[in-house]
Amino acid sequence: MRNIKMIVAYDGSRYKGYQKLGDNDMTIQEKLESVLSKMANETIEIIGSGRTDMGAHARGQVINFKTNCIDSVDKIQKYLYEYLPEDIVVKTVEEVDERFHSRYNVKSKTYLYKIDNNKYHSPFMRKYAAHISKKLDLDRMRKASEYLIGEHDFTSFASSKSKKKSNVREIYSINIKENDDIVEIYIEGNGFLYNMVRIIVGALIDVGLKRKAPQDVKHMLESKDRSKSSDTAPAKGLCLWKVKYE
């Protein structure tokens, strides 16, 4: 039995998220498993490094699956490129140790959140960035983000649907960049709760719009109360950027 690892990029605009919900549903997992199963002539179940929400995207989603298929990794990649829809592309395919697990072996994940901060939204960015017409104060946002670095209980930044045993996570870095009024927020951590990145971005947006002070983010964190935090930023601005392993 071979263990195959792939890095996958996808535009999540028309999908109900990564995770399969039922038979023949519009999810990234269902599309990948369907094509892989036909290729291998056996039922393939994939394991993803994480789940992305409906409408969210990925540049570096990592998956692995076990198979008896004898095709070379190059042949597998060419088959997937031909038969997957154009909004899902497998960037790399390699055979790895049987113990590799795309979710359990993760060292860190980096998410990118994009904001179109122009007065009028770009029609070319409308599916890939949240639009905010009022100018954001990035210095305030950077100051607020400093309170989130390190290991904390992120209950205030997790959706009520989150069912993790512990809400303690560690954020390694938050970098906020701007180019031609496109704001990019990169968040790297050892793991993330359901909607955690989008809620963090919602809080940073509130600070950037001067609805809240930077230190209010510290109070949100310490409260461990989701109702004390900000609204969840739209999914379309979110992209799973990179996954690192040991």
Catalytic positions are 53
Count of residues making up the chain: 246
Residue 172: half-sphere exposure toward Cβ, Cα within 13 Å: 11
Bridge partners of 76? none
Helices (H), 17-88: 28-40, 73-83
Beta strands in 51-193 (DSSP E): 57-67, 88-96, 106-116, 130-131, 150-153, 168-179, 182-189
Residue 206's Cα: distance from chain center in Å?
A: 21
Q: How many CB atoms lie within 10 A of CB 47?
A: 17
For residue 211, what are its two tokens?
A: 């609805």
The residues near 61 (Cβ < 8 Å, ≥ 6 apart) are 7, 8, 9, 10, 18, 28, 48, 49, 50, 52, 240, 243
Q: How many CB atoms lie within 10 A of CB 164?
A: 13
H or E segment and range at residue 241: strand 238-245
